[in-house]
C-alpha cells in the first residue's frame, strides 16, 4: 500500500527504493558552486534536529541517510520513531551507506537517492563515502539544477505567466550587478526586497527599510562579491503566503497540492500552517478575487516549458496576496523539497487530502 504523496507522480520501477537525505543547506551549497561547502552552525543544528523529517515523505521500505552522527540526530530519531517503524524505514549513517547499498543489491534492490536538494557538495560527500556515481546525479545535472535555481529564473517565469494570465500583474525582479545600481533601485522604489540569487527560507533576503544606508551598502557589496549580482523586488503589504507544490518526472510536472506558510515582514520563513489544500483555496479566495485554478494550469505549463526538460524531482512555487487584493502568482521557485510538501504529506497520510 502506497503511503507517499508522490506515489502517483513518480515512476519507480520494481526493485527500487529511495534513500532520503535532509540537507537544508542545499541552496547555500548551490550558491558556492563547489565540491566543498562549510555549513553554518545554525543550519547544521537544523539538519541534526530535523534529520528524520523525510520520514513523512518516504514509502514503506525506503531509507533515511544521516549526514551527521546518530547521537546528534537522536532527538529527531526519537520524535519520528513511530513513523519510522510503521513504514519500516532503515536509518543509515554516512560511513555505512556503501555497505548498506551492497547488501540490498544482493536482494536485487537498487537505490534512488532523494535528498532535500542536490548540490555539488552532497555529491562529493557521497562519492567520498564510496557510493557509486551511477546512483547519483552527474556534475552536469547538478550544474543545470544550480542554474535553474537562480532567482532570475523566477523573473523569466513571471514573464511567461504574464503572457497567459492577462488580468494578473506578474511582477519581475530586477537583477542588479553593481552596488550603485542596487542602491539606485532602492532609492527609486523606496521600499524593496533585495535577495541573494541563491538562498532559502528568507535567509539571504533583506528589506531596504530595515537597514541603515551603511549596512545596506555592505550587504549589497557582500552579496555581489559572493554571488555576482543581487535581485531587487518592490515590496508588497502581504496578507498571505502560499505555495503550489509539484513533482516533476520525465519532462512532466504533476501538481500535488497547495501549502500555506508564515513569514515575517522582512521575508523570513517562520513555519507552515497545517491545512488541507481545499481549505487553503478558500483562504486565498477570501483574500483575492484573482485566484482560480487557471493559475495552477499556467504554472504547470511554464514549469514544463522552462524547467521539466532539465530537471526531475520536487518543486515549489511561492505566491502571495496583498492588502490591495492582488495575487502575485510567483515570488520564487524552489527546486527541492519544502516544508510545505512535508505538511502536505502529513495531510495525505491522515487521509485529509
Q: What percent of the chain has pLDDT over 70?
A: 96
Give residue 61's pLDDT.
93
Confidence at residue 352, expressed as pLDDT on a 0 to 100 scale: 58
* CATH 1.10.287 at 174-234, yes or no: no
Query: CA distances (Å), 222 to each of 174, 216, 322, in order?
Result: 18, 10, 30
Mean pLDDT across the stretch 146-152?
A: 95
So what's the pLDDT on residue 4? 67
Mean pLDDT of 89-95: 97
Classify residue 291 by burial, with Cβ atoms within 10 Å: 0-12, 13-18, 19+.
Answer: buried
For the stretch 224-239, pLDDT in tens is 999 999 999 999 889 9
Residue range 10-49, pLDDT digits in tens? 777 789 999 999 999 999 899 888 888 888 898 999 999 9
Residue 96 grid coordinates: 555505512
Binned at pLDDT 50, 70 and 90, residue 266 comes out as confident
Residue 246's pLDDT is what? 97
Angle value at C-alpha 193, between 330 and 145, nearest 5 degrees = 50
**Superfamily the domain 237-349 falls into:** ATP-grasp fold, B domain (3.30.470.20)
Checking if the pLDDT of 353 tops 70, the result is no
pLDDT(2) > 50: no
In DSSP terms, 176 is beta-bridged to 230
Ordered by start, the domain boundaries in the chain are 16-147, 174-234, 237-349
The DSSP-derived string for 170-238 is -PPPEEE-SHHHHHHHHHHHSSEEEE-SS--TTTTEEEGGGS-HHHHHHHHHHHHHHHS-EEEEE---E
Output the pLDDT for position 36: 83
Average pLDDT score over residue span 291-307: 96
Helix (H) or strand (E) holding 121: helix 120-128
Can you give the pLDDT at residue 14?
Answer: 83
Are 319 and 244 in contact by the 8 Å Cβ rule? The answer is yes
* pLDDT of the residue at 202: 64
- 352 vs 130, higher pLDDT: 130
Q: What 3-state class would DSSP assign to 126?
A: helix
Q: Read off the pLDDT band of 288 (50, 70, 90).
A: very high
Q: In this predicted model, what pLDDT tens digit does every residue of 111-124 receive, in sequence order?
A: 999 999 999 999 99
pLDDT of 218 > 70? The answer is: yes
**pLDDT attached to residue 332:** 93
Q: How many helices (H) and strands (E) does the chain have?
A: 13, 13
Average predicted confidence (pLDDT) for the chain: 92
Amino acid at each position: 500500500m502506497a503511503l507517499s504523496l508522490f506515489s502517483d507522480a513518480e515512476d519507480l520501477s520494481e526493485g527500487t527504493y529511495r534513500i532520503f537525505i535532509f540537507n537544508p543547506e542545499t541552496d547555500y551549497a548551490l550558491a558556492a558552486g563547489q565540491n566543498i561547502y562549510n555549513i553554518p552552525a545554525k543550519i547544521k543544528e537544523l539538519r541534526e534536529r530535523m534529520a528524520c523529517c523525510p520520514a513523512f515523505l518516504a514509502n514503506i521500505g525506503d531509507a533515511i541517510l544521516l549526514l551527521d552522527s546518530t547521537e546528534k540526530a537522536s532527538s529527531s530519531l526519537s520524535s519520528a520513531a513511530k513513523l519510522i517503524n510503521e513504514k519500516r524505514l532503515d536509518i543509515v549513517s554516512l560511513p555505512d551507506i556503501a555497505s548498506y547499498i551492497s547488501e540490498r543489491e544482493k536482494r536485487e534492490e537498487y537505490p534512488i537517492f532523494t535528498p532535500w536538494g542536490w548540490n555539488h557538495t552532497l555529491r562529493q560527500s557521497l562519492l567520498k563515502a564510496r557510493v557509486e556515481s551511477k546512483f547519483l546525479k552527474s556534475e552536469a545535472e547538478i550544474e543545470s539544477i544550480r542554474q535553474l535555481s537562480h532567482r532570475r529564473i523566477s523573473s523569466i517565469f513571471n514573464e511567461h505567466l504574464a503572457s497567459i494570465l492577462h488580468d494578473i500583474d506578474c511582477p519581475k525582479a530586477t537583477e542588479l550587478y553593481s552596488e550603485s545600481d542596487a542602491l539606485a533601485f532602492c532609492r527609486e522604489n523606496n521600499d524593496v526586497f533585495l535577495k541573494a540569487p541563491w538562498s532559502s527560507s528568507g535567509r539571504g533576503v533583506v528589506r531596504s527599510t530595515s537597514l541603515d544606508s551603511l549596512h545596506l551598502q555592505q550587504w549589497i557589496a557582500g552579496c555581489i562579491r559572493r554571488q555576482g549580482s543581487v535581485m531587487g523586488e518592490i515590496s508588497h503589504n502581504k496578507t498571505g503566503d502560499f505555495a503550489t507544490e509539484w513533482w516533476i518526472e520525465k519532462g512532466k510536472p504533476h501538481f500535488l497540492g497547495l501549502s500555506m506558510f508564515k513569514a515575517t515582514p522582512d521575508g523570513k520563513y517562520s513555519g507552515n500552517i497545517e491545512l488541507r489544500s481545499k481549505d487553503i483555496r478558500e483562504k486565498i479566495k477570501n483574500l483575492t478575487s484573482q485566484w482560480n485554478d487557471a493559475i495552477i494550469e499556467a504554472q504547470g505549463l511554464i514549469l514544463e516549458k522552462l524547467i521539466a526538460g532539465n530537471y526531475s524531482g520536487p518543486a515549489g512555487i511561492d505566491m502571495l496576496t496583498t492588502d490591495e487584493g492582488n495575487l502575485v502568482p510567483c515570488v520564487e521557485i524552489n527546486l527541492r523539497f519544502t516544508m510545505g510538501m512535508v505538511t502536505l504529506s502529513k495531510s495525505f497520510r491522515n487521509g485529509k487530502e
